[in-house]
Amino acid sequence: MALTDKPVTTFLDELASDAPAPGGGSVAALSGALGAALVSMVCNLTVGKKGYEDVQGDINDLLAQSEALRRKLIDLLEEDVKAYTGYSVAAKMPRGTDEEKAERKKAMQAALKVATDVPLAIAEAAVKVMDLCMPSAEKGNKWAVSDAGVAVLMAEAALRSAALNVLINLGSLKDEEFVTDRRAKLEGLLEGKGVMRDEIYDYVVSKL
Amino acid sequence: MALTDKPVTTFLDELASDAPAPGGGSVAALSGALGAALVSMVCNLTVGKKGYEDVQGDINDLLAQSEALRRKLIDLLEEDVKAYTGYSVAAKMPRGTDEEKAERKKAMQAALKVATDVPLAIAEAAVKVMDLCMPSAEKGNKWAVSDAGVAVLMAEAALRSAALNVLINLGSLKDEEFVTDRRAKLEGLLEGKGVMRDEIYDYVVSKL
């Protein structure tokens, strides 16, 4: 059964347990999906509403993007669990002979690359959700402006949570070219997003 | 059926829809519960582990607190939905006569007070989750330090999200004494928490 098909309380129980997955990476993806869903909610409360005739095209466009990102982030949540499982399988490979040791090490490094690229993709999707928050706060139903504010808080928490999961895996990777490349990508994604969060939050507060 | 007994994907579908609940308040509570569950996970990965003999008492104490807060936040999630329903019921009361209008207005103001105090309680619980994050990062299993970092990101997002839901309701309340009191309580809860989040995040990054 896919993790996201389980009840919310079961998800939380499994998260709280000492089972290695779901963990912080899955929470990052879920937080991004919650942000995307809130943008969708703001849009759905604006579609066809009186007083919002001029923004219907923009709102439908935002909604299509937020729904695509929500699906993407749910897929990435499941991929994150699989990536962790892949690493665990590699770590349990036999290490009796030198050849086995080398094989295991190689498999673990390959699994760590996957376990790095999944949260990096979560971070990318989270930034895309953040990009939808100001337009939905400005153009969406004014009664839902606080929901656009919550959306940016969840999306930015998703980005930073994903970043921690990228960094923890980069720390164990030996391929320096890969590490340098992914670290640069992550820094590009993080840049200015704390300020962006504060700006959207302050805008929302000014409308309450 | 309680909202948190539904599958994660159903929760997200209902959030994204134009149904008024669940909304940002429920997400605030869920985000806090995710933070609490991650603290529990760090503790559960530390209980009985070799090398962590000296911190077992502290870890068990942290775990008891995080589990109590997780239960509290799930209860508050359900209360937030009920508070919104209460307000909707009041808003739909008849308003034909002056007496009916006055009754409806009174019921709406009473419902808004409940709808303010629920997210305020979410904010209080979120701050308590934040207080557990640094000790769990410092004392917990070092392989789970990134999860303690994700915990503080989720708890702080919960606090700020709850704050937006308090503020939107305070804006419609006429009882000035109530508004002043709750605004002061909220400001007390928010104070210094952005800095606290950054400090714990930076500590976690320094350990990766």
Tell me the β-bridge partners of B67: none
Q: For residue B15, give how far its alpha carbon lies from the nearest alpha carbon of chain A (Å).
A: 6
pLDDT at A20 over 80: no
- Facing B23 at nearest CB: one of A33, A41, A67: A41
Residue A141 pLDDT grade (very low, low, confident, very high; cuts 50, 70, 90): very high
List CB contacts of A85: < 8 A, sequence separation 6 or more.
A21
Interface test with A, best of B164, B182, B195, B203 (most A CBs within 10 A): B164
Whole-number percent of chain B with pLDDT over 70: 100
Contact predicate B122/B32, CB 8 Å: yes
Q: What is the ipTM of this complex?
A: 0.96
Whole-number percent of chain A with pLDDT over 90: 97
Residue B20 pLDDT grade (very low, low, confident, very high; cuts 50, 70, 90): confident
pTM, two decimals, is: 0.96
Q: For residue A90, give how far its alpha carbon lies from the nearest alpha carbon of chain B (Å).
A: 17
Q: Which helix (H) or strand (E) holds A195?
A: helix A193-206
pLDDT on residue B169: 95
pLDDT at B69 over 90: yes
pLDDT at B129 over 90: yes
pLDDT in tens, A63-104: 999 999 999 999 999 999 999 999 999 999 999 999 999 999
Tell me the β-bridge partners of A7: B7
pLDDT at A166 over 80: yes
Q: Residue B154 is encoded by which pair of tokens?
A: 């989720």
Whole-number percent of chain B with pLDDT over 90: 97
How is residue B88 annotated by DSSP? Answer: H
pLDDT at A177 over 80: yes
